Amino acid sequence: MTDAEELRARTRTLLEEHPPATTDRTDFLRARFDAGLAWVHYPVGLGGLDAPRALQSVVDAELAAAGAPDNDPRKIGIGLGMAAPTVLAHGSDEVKRRFLRPLWVGEEVWCQLFSEPGAGSDLAALATRAVRDGEDWVVDGQKVWTSSAHTARWAILIARTDPDAPKHRGITYFVCDMTDPGVEVRPLRQITGEAEFNEVFLTGVRIPDAHRLGEVGDGWRVAQTTLMNERVSIGGSRIPREGGMIGKAATTWRERPELRTHELHRRLLDHWVDAEVARLAGERLRQQLVAGRPGPEGSAMKLAFARLNQAISGLEVELLGDEGLLYGEWEMRRPNLVDFTGRDAGYRYLRSKGNSIEGGTSEVLLNIVAERVLGLPPEPRNDKDVAWKDLAR
C-alpha cells in the first residue's frame, strides 16, 4: 500500500528529475502522469499508483509548494470530470491506454455529445442513430448545447442502436473523433451574446467498435457514470469562503454604501448564509467523491448551485439599480472556458439563467433527489416497456 511518505518521496524525485523552472510545462505533466502522480487512485500505468484517493492532496501540496505547473482543470473539465471516470470504468485496456494520458495532460480536449433538440430533459429519448457496419458504427443525428465542441478533439457520445428496445435499453456509448468526416460544429449564440455552446451535426460518422464503452445496448448504465460525475463537477466545485457569485455581490455591497437599503441587507445576508451552507455541503460531497462514491446527492448540490446563482445575481442587479441594467458588450465571442462570474453584473445575471438547464435541468434533478435520495415513489411512467420506435414524438 502506497502511503503519504512514499508519495512525498516520489513527488520530490519527480521534481528533482524535472525541475519546474527549466522543464517544458507539457513535458513536466507527461512525466507526472508517467510517475503515477496525476491521480494517485488510478491504476498503475494509467497515471496512478492504486493509492487511496485522499492522498492526492499530499502530491498536490508538494507540487504547489515547488511552483510546478498544473494541467489547468478549468480548460479540460469535461475530460477530467466526466470522460476520464467513464473511460476508466467501462473502457477496454487499449482505450484506457490511448486516451487517459493526453486527456489528463490537456493535449486533447473533450466534449459531451448527449443532449439533443428533442431529448434534453428526457435524455433517454435521444434519436441519434448508430448502425453497425462491419467493424465500425455509422452515426447520424444532431446534438445540442455542447460545451467545448469547437475546441474538442474527442467526444463522449450516446446513440440509439436498437429502436425496437425500450428507450433506456437501446442505447450504446461511444468515443467519437471530432475531426472525423461528417462531424460539423456550429456556434449556438446565447442570451449573453457569447457562443460557448454549440450544435453538432453527425452525418455518416464512422466510429470503430473498439471505441465503444460498455456493452451494446448498455449505454444508459454507462451514461450514469458520466452524469453522476458531471453533477459533482458542477455542484461540488471548490470555491473559497465568500467566493463565486456571493463574493461579487458582497464586494458591491461593501464598495457602494450609497446603494444600501435595509431590505437588500437582509436578503444579502440570507444569500450569504445559503452560499456558505452550499460551500460546506460541497466540501462534504467532495469527501464522498474521494471515497469513490459520487452518489445522487450531487444532483442536490447542482440544484442548489443553480438556484443560488440566479438569486444572488438577481439581487446584485437590483442593488445596482439602473446601473445594473447596463450591458457592456454583446459581441459574439467563442470562449474556451465557461465563466459564471466574469464581466459585469448584467452578464452574471444572464449567464446564471443557464445554470438550471446545463448538466441536467432542475426538474430532472428534483426527480432524482426525490427518488434516489429521499426514497419517494417514482413518477408514473407509461413509456417504460414501450419500444422507442413506438413512442409518440
Catalytic residues: 230
Locate the DSSP E strands across 118-219: 129-133, 136-143, 154-160, 171-177, 183-188, 197-208, 212-213
Q: Quick one: which H or E segment has residue 97? A: helix 93-105
Q: Is 296 helix (H, G, I), strand (E, B) or coil?
A: coil
Grid cell of 386 as nine digits: 414501450
What type of residue is 85? P
CA 47/CA 27 separation, integer angstroms: 14
Query: CA nearest 174: which of 294, 75, 92?
Result: 92
What backbone phi and psi angles, to 5 degrees, belong to 266? -60, -45
Q: Which amino acid is at 116?
A: E
Q: Could you tell me the CA-to-CA distances from 225 to 38, 89, 102, 150, 356 in Å, in that order?
A: 21, 8, 21, 24, 21
Q: Which amino acid is at 288?
A: Q
As a whole number of angstroms, the distance between CA 95 and CA 271 comes to 45
What is the distance between the alpha carbons of residues 66 and 12, in angstroms, rounded to a whole number? 9
Strand ranges for 48-170 from DSSP E:
110-113, 129-133, 136-143, 154-160
Distance of CA 34 to the CA centre of its chain: 25
The amino acid present at 362, given as its one-letter code, is: S
One-letter amino acid at 180 equals: D
Locate 26 and state its grid cell: 507539457
